[in-house]
Amino acid sequence: MIDIQRIRNNKDEVIELLSRKNVPSEIIEKAFALDEDWRSKTTEVEQLKARKNALSKEIGKLKRENKDASEVLAEIEKISHSIEEIEVLAQEKEAELKNLLLIIPNTPNIDVPVGKDETYNREEKKWGEIPSFDFEPKSHDELGEQLGIFDFQRAAKISGARFVVCKKMGAALERALINFMIDVHTKENGYIEVLPPYLVKAAALYGTGNLPKFEADLFKVDGGEFYLIPTAEVPVTNLHRDEILSEEDLPISYCAFTPCFRSEAGSYGKDTKGMIRQHQFHKVELVKFAHPDNSYNELEKLTRDAERILEYLNLPYRRVTLSTGDMSFSSAKTYDLEVWLPSQSLYREISSCSNFEDFQARRAQIRFKPKVGGKTRFVHTLNGSGLAVGRTVVAILENYQRKDGSVVIPEVLRKYLNGAEIIEPN
């Protein structure tokens, strides 16, 4: 949530920054006006309440002295009526303002390239050598079906479109990747492993910014108050909701493996074949609670931690900074990591690493108390995929394929697969 004080004190700056995210200025002007209105009514109510409190105390005193209080009671009754009237108005304004603030996106960092869509994303680096094949490289779904490790047809029978059944080395490879990623992040990068719930309440989704605006992207459990998580970001960021952390504990870094569930509403016709876009997929997620003075440094580190997984797997990738028009609602700055897919001859997103600054922390009330200076401050939250497991399988199959349709297993994964070196058709 954007800080209303920023709108109050630097309205024009906020309008300018949010125009980069295609937010019309009228929305900010509306929030500004609601805030002014709310404040004047609140001030009025509070003055009346102060008078009422004073009179109430007087009654206590009069009663103790066994004196008559009817005159004071009469005045209180009059004040109470006024309070009721104005308070309703103040509460209406407050609710309206709050609802409006909940749908205003985060302001982009000044460094983020300005543009209306992904064509304005800025490439930051490229890593690895794009493999050259002396044959036509196959797509992962073709390879997977030939190898007998993916079964899209039966998945459709069971659950419909956008699901897959992984079998044999397909299933084992997912499991190996999950363990490999978690091992690297916990042992080499200092993340604390957590295994959170996959069903969450609405409040958790408000905290991260998925609600109220993006309900259509989520699966809601019928009849219950639960939602299936779209990413581990939701439960893990909410670990510290309504908490005051110790400054010396920052940054706190978590790593979580979870399935992710997405309705993919509005993506009809996109990536219909294969494992790229599924209703259910696995992800190892990195989440940090950082000191606000150091969060951009932590974003660089977190992104490097994700990149290192790709490097261990020797998968060619590039890093791009998402433009203001392509980044998400809650983010102030996002790096996407895109892995090379030979069958499509392009880079596809495999990780998204963001600094949300205090946007989520303000929604979820995650704060810390500075050692000196007293006043509690909001932490900065960050997260990134480290990595999306299904898409990593896709990238491995496509980049490590051989002419005969077999696939070489990346060296770092072999110890997780009983030493297997190659996936072969059987």
Partner RNA sequence: GGAGAGAUGGCCGAGUGGUCGAAGGCGCCUGACUCGAAAUCAGGUUUGCGGGUAACCGCAACGGGGGUUCGAAUCCCUCUCUCUCCGCCA
Active site residues: 262, 277, 349, 352, 391
Instruction: Return the residues of window 19-58 that contact RNA according to CB under 7 A.
Output: 39, 42-43, 46-47, 49-50, 52-57
Instruction: Return the residues of window 238-267 that contact RNA according to CB under 7 A.
Output: 244
Taking a C-beta distance cutoff of 8 angstroms, is the pair 366, 381 a contact? yes
Q: Does residue 374 bind RNA (CB under 7 A)?
A: yes
Least distance (Å) from RNA to the CB of residue 356?
Answer: 19
Least distance (Å) from RNA to the CB of residue 221?
Answer: 14
Q: Does residue 70 bind RNA (CB under 7 A)?
A: no
Report which DSSP code applies to 103.
Answer: T
The nearer residue to RNA, 270 or 375, going by C-beta atoms, is 375
Binder among 33, 73, 88, 114 for RNA (CB under 7 A): 73
The nearer residue to RNA, 5 or 345, going by C-beta atoms, is 5
Computed on alpha carbons and rounded to an integer, the radius of gyration of the chain in Å comes to 27
- What string marks each residue from 121 to 140 as x (binds RNA by CB under 7 A) or -? --------------------
Q: Does residue 376 bind RNA (CB under 7 A)?
A: yes
Q: Does residue 9 bind RNA (CB under 7 A)?
A: no
Give the residue among 123, 125, 124, 118 at the shortest CA–CA distance from 324: 118
Q: Does residue 59 bind RNA (CB under 7 A)?
A: yes
Q: Does residue 161 bind RNA (CB under 7 A)?
A: no
Instruction: Match 């940054």 to its residue by tokens.
Output: 251
Least distance (Å) from RNA to the CB of residue 243?
Answer: 9
Give the residue among 83, 59, 84, 60 at the shortest CA–CA distance from 72: 59
Q: Does residue 76 bind RNA (CB under 7 A)?
A: yes
Phi-psi label, residue 48: left if phi above 0, alpha if psi -120 to 50, beta otherwise: alpha
Decide the pairing of beta strands 243-246 and 366-369. parallel
Provide the angle, in degrees to the nearest 10, between the axes of the packed helices 389-399 and 168-183. 110
Give the residue among 177, 230, 180 at the shortest CA–CA distance from 393: 177
Q: Does residue 159 bind RNA (CB under 7 A)?
A: no
Instruction: Match 């009330």 to its residue by tokens.
Output: 365
CB under 8 Å to 87, separation ≥6 — which residues?
A: 45
Instruction: Compute, in degrees rounded to 10, the torsion defined by CA atoms 170, 172, 177, 180.
Output: -160
Q: Total binding residues for RNA by CB under 7 A?
A: 28
Token pair for 19: 């125009």
Query: Using CA atoms, how far apart are residues 310 and 308, in angstroms rounded to an integer?
Result: 5
Query: Using CA atoms, how far apart are residues 143 and 126, in angstroms rounded to an integer?
Result: 26
> What 3-state DSSP class applies to 28?
helix
Least distance (Å) from RNA to the CB of residue 175?
Answer: 21
The nearer residue to RNA, 13 or 36, going by C-beta atoms, is 36
Q: Does residue 75 bind RNA (CB under 7 A)?
A: no
Least distance (Å) from RNA to the CB of residue 249?
Answer: 12
Instruction: Return the residues of window 164-223 that contact RNA according to CB under 7 A.
Output: none
Least distance (Å) from RNA to the CB of residue 76?
Answer: 4
Residues that bind RNA (CB under 7 A): 4-5, 8, 39, 42-43, 46-47, 49-50, 52-57, 59-60, 63, 73, 76-77, 80, 244, 369, 374-376
